[in-house]
Amino acid sequence: MKRNLLAILLIFPLVVKGQLKIEGIYPKHQYYSGQVSLLLAGDSSVSTTGYTSFQVLSSNGDTITKETGPSYFLPQNEVRTYTLELNEGVSNLPENLCGTLYLKFPHWSIDFCLNNTIQDGAGGTVDCNKIEITDIVYSGEHWDYMVSVILTSNDSTGTGVTGYTSMQLFNEEGDSLTYKTGPIHILPMFTTDTIVYNLKLINESLNDPINLESSCFELRLENPDCSINYCSIISNTLEADDTKFRIFPNPTSDELRIEGITPRAVEVLGSKGGTLISELNNTDRLDVSSLPNGVYIVRIYTDRKIFNKQLIKI
């Protein structure tokens, strides 16, 4: 696949369907990952009472992405990120692509034109203080040699185009734990954007397993040049509402319960950041029996904040 496929693809001009705006479409990886992210913005008039599905077709009718199925809810007073799978046989995209985004429930179609607007090493204006690590876990698919670093943004206005980023994980002594990835990743842009990055452990780390549950880490980035610190040890400095609720049983094989908080919505994310389960209507129980065994992220939406918790399915 050519690199211009995996360059940032932004919408110009913004297209509005009712009060729903397409803010952009971009890949999470500079090279082929089989996925693109769709950014949608909605105001208070957008209904979130049911699930919808997304699919992108070109102007001549070619299928660009697979239909997601009715598993997502639309943004309401926010910008949300949705992961779409590229269709088989899609090898590259032209720098300028016009097409249509099809939704179901409601049945909408939104025409758009994409303009490739980023170049290698373009850099960006991202503020590392607005990017945080929500968890570091062993990769559910490759637990023996990879760790998953989950990043989210707390920037309600969005960071915009940030360019491609390199990342490497270090322990609190400054020893490198993973190989440097190279400038291939896109950082999360909005408060609803959570991305899972799988980093390969160096050989020395394989012989001395890392205690991910009671350790501190430093994630070093290039473009922008900054560091993000994370400690998995619970401290007394955490906000009160971070410690009042729990998800249980964890690990679980069938049902997951949420106690001590009233969710507005709950999602389960896979190892690549895609949404696998979405539930609305203040649910405090989640059926996860259909998920394969592995490590997942439970994203919990409340009226004030978004929380991310690790889930182990057995």
Contacts of 96 (CB under 8 A, 6+ apart): 113, 114, 115, 116
Look at residue 237 and tell me if it is in a domain: no
Q: Which domain holds residue 176?
A: 128-231
Whether the per-residue pLDDT at 236 is higher than 70: the answer is no
Whether the per-residue pLDDT at 219 is higher than 90: the answer is yes
Whether the per-residue pLDDT at 31 is higher than 60: the answer is no
pLDDT of residue 118: 41
Claim to verify: residue 167 and residue 102 sit in the same structural domain: no
pLDDT of residue 92: 60
CA count, 13 A, side-chain hemisphere, 282: 4
Q: Could you tell me the CATH number of the domain that includes residue 152?
A: 2.60.40
Look at residue 47 and tell me if it is in a domain: yes
Claim to verify: residue 83 and residue 155 sit in the same structural domain: no
Claim to verify: residue 172 and residue 260 sit in the same structural domain: no
Residue 169 pLDDT class (50, 70, 90 cuts):
very high
Claim to verify: residue 270 and residue 190 sit in the same structural domain: no
Q: What percent of the chain has pLDDT over 70?
A: 69
Provide the residue type at 103 as one letter. Answer: L
Which of 177, 201, 231 terminates a domain? The answer is 231
Average pLDDT on 206-219 reads 74
Residue 179 pLDDT class (50, 70, 90 cuts):
very high
Which of 199, 231, 263 terminates a domain? The answer is 231
Claim to verify: residue 20 and residue 79 sit in the same structural domain: yes
Query: Which 3 state secondary structure label does DSSP give 113?
Result: strand
Provide the residue type at 269 as one letter. Answer: L
Average pLDDT on 123-136 reads 71
Whether the per-residue pLDDT at 305 is higher than 60: the answer is yes
Look at residue 236 and tell me if it is in a domain: no
Contacts of 40 (CB under 8 A, 6+ apart): 20, 21, 22, 23, 74, 75, 79, 80, 82
Whether the per-residue pLDDT at 170 is higher than 90: the answer is yes
Claim to verify: residue 133 and residue 94 sit in the same structural domain: no
Claim to verify: residue 181 and residue 252 sit in the same structural domain: no
CA dihedral 229→233→236→239, nearest 10 degrees, is 60
Name the residue with higher pLDDT: 61 or 42: 61
Look at residue 189 and tell me if it is in a domain: yes
Number of folded domains in the chain?
3
Rounded mean pLDDT of the chain?
73
Look at residue 3 and tell me if it is in a domain: no
Claim to verify: residue 283 and residue 194 sit in the same structural domain: no
CA dist 90 and 32 (Å) reads 11
Whether the per-residue pLDDT at 121 is higher than 50: the answer is no
Average pLDDT on 107-118 reads 69
pLDDT of residue 195: 76
Claim to verify: residue 133 and residue 221 sit in the same structural domain: yes
pLDDT tens-digit map of 139-168: 655 456 788 888 877 776 655 555 678 899
Look at residue 122 and tell me if it is in a domain: no
Average pLDDT on 255-266 reads 86
Average pLDDT on 60-76 reads 82
Backbone angles phi, psi at 81, to 5 degrees: -110, 130
Average pLDDT on 4-26 reads 52
Claim to verify: residue 107 and residue 143 sit in the same structural domain: no
Q: Which of 114-128, 180-194, 239-253, 267-281 has the lowest mean pLDDT?
A: 114-128
Look at residue 14 and tell me if it is in a domain: yes
Claim to verify: residue 105 and residue 167 sit in the same structural domain: no
Average pLDDT on 104-124 reads 62
* Token pair listed for 256: 């997951």
CA 271 to chain CA centroid, Å, is 10
Claim to verify: residue 28 and residue 92 sit in the same structural domain: yes
Residue 245 pLDDT class (50, 70, 90 cuts):
confident
pLDDT of residue 15: 42
pLDDT of residue 167: 92
Which of 55, 87, 116 terminates a domain? The answer is 116
Whether the per-residue pLDDT at 40 is higher than 90: the answer is no
CA dist 166 and 183 (Å) reads 4
Whether the per-residue pLDDT at 16 is higher than 50: the answer is no
Look at residue 121 and tell me if it is in a domain: no
Q: Which of 59-68, 143-152, 206-215 has the lowest mean pLDDT?
A: 206-215
Name the residue with higher pLDDT: 219 or 181: 219
E-strand stretches of the chain: 9-17, 20-26, 35-42, 53-58, 78-85, 96-104, 108-116, 131-138, 146-153, 166-171, 194-200, 216-222, 226-231, 246-248, 255-259, 265-269, 275-279, 285-287, 294-301, 306-313
Whether the per-residue pLDDT at 181 is higher than 90: the answer is no
Q: Could you tell me the CATH number of the domain that includes residue 249?
A: 2.60.40.10
